[in-house]
Structure 1
């Protein structure tokens, strides 16, 4: 086990105690990366979530959560609230605290950051404390920026762009352009030119989400601007982006953010 503490957070890599742990909650953001197989985590208010190989999850401060299972190695970084908020402010993001979605994601830049950190700490020669401190200063800033750029959340209007195999690119482009239309798995697979089982497997492998979940999350992100800046009813907003009813929209919003659309709207207007 290795724990490296820093003024802006903490980095943990361990190969033991990978089974169920106790509930935890604190004031930091948590970046969790699954490098070797399935990992399962649980939020007290949002349920269970499974990460496949090279998928990541970001947990918000004060979210009660626990580890249920990790395959081979746990890689976790705690990022202090103050650092992430400072980076968000410098990037000119919405003037409220970033809240990340409770979804599994995949991104090559974040995978590369994790790989670099593992290589550095597993193969480093003896270095001075000043050298390690400077390295961590820069690494934590890099991670905070990558989280804000590629982590799905309230600070974004669309899902973060990622490099996809050509067989998926046309489908994702079509979903983005016609997200308010009714899509089936068959529709997507036909557009991709493969059978629906191959398509669903590849889509989940590359994005961390099933095709339908990806579309629903995309729709949900589109609603955030209307919730913030208009007085449109929740029902009209949900229908506008393609949800069939307000119940499915409310349920998804609650699972992703731990609050309802009405609570989201109220918290934004209270804090802006």
Structure 2
């Protein structure tokens, strides 16, 4: 089933879940793992979407579906809607560009589950009921994407952890993210076994503790690329990366551009 208006489109389907052709257009796309998740590919990486996780593709970002399990839940949003949401939230000066990362956030999860359930509940009612529901939900999703979507507009990792123990760890990491954190060190702050900690962290955020740390370092490095004349090497080392190669590989994987290319594109935007 498809619902759409001038602001976007919502697609729910249980067929054509296998490999599809490459796609790109002028909309933002959020793909939600509503049932069993799945896998997508960009020109730079493979993205596994876990159940109740999501990924956001930017306008003109080439991607293709490799498979989805059980159901495909796709939302396309017009660029102007995201722009209006960002201006309304005080995020100005740069175009919205999201990181190619699959992760979990409780607010976006609640939105997706709520919309998905209501569409099911209204299946026996006139189509206008769901159409009205979906049309009015696009603005809500745009606001949530600006607030909680990982991307170059963020100055930090969006708050996601609702567990007090894990929040203690993420707060500690933020205060000294440049240091050489290990899983043992994180678990020590949490005061639980490191294997329990790693499992709990992945369950609550959708990504591993180390991946969270590296993404946080990358996000914190972005202003230095845009607003300073420090070298890429200096920026990488200042933000906790062991070498410039690791920094460049992660940047390319997440944004499809090297730090130098990112700096050139965003320097005067």
SS at match of 2:26: coil
Q: Which runs of 4+ in 1 moved over 6 A?
A: none
In structure 1, what is the Cα distance between the partners aligned to 2:56 and 2:13? 18
* Contact 2:104-2:205 within 8 A present in 1 as well: yes
CA deviations 1:203-255 (Å, max 9, x no partner) are 11111111111000000000111111111111111111111111111110110
* Contact 2:98-2:149 within 8 A present in 1 as well: yes
SS at match of 2:267: helix
* Contact 2:96-2:152 within 8 A present in 1 as well: yes
SS at match of 2:166: helix
Equivalent of 1:69 in 56, 59, 67 = 67
Matched residue, 2:163: 165
- 1:91 CA displacement: 2.0
* Contact 1:105-1:151 within 8 A present in 2 as well: no
SS at match of 1:21: coil
* Contact 1:89-1:95 within 8 A present in 2 as well: no
- 1:80 CA displacement: 0.9
Gaps in structure 2 of 5+ consecutive residues? none
- 1:134 CA displacement: 4.6
- 1:6 CA displacement: 1.4
Matched residue, 1:265: 263
- 1:128 CA displacement: 7.3
Question: What TM-score results when the alignment is normalised by the length of structure 1?
Answer: 0.93
Matched residue, 1:194: 192
Equivalent of 1:178 in 162, 176, 180 = 176
In structure 1, what is the Cα distance between the partners aligned to 2:171 and 2:255? 25
Equivalent of 2:92 in 91, 94, 104 = 94
Matched residue, 2:40: 41
In structure 2, what is the Cα distance between the partners aligned to 1:155 and 1:260? 17
- 1:127 CA displacement: 4.4
Q: Number of residue pairs matched?
A: 268
Matched residue, 1:3: 2
* Contact 2:33-2:52 within 8 A present in 1 as well: yes
Question: What TM-score results when the alignment is normalised by the length of structure 2?
Answer: 0.94
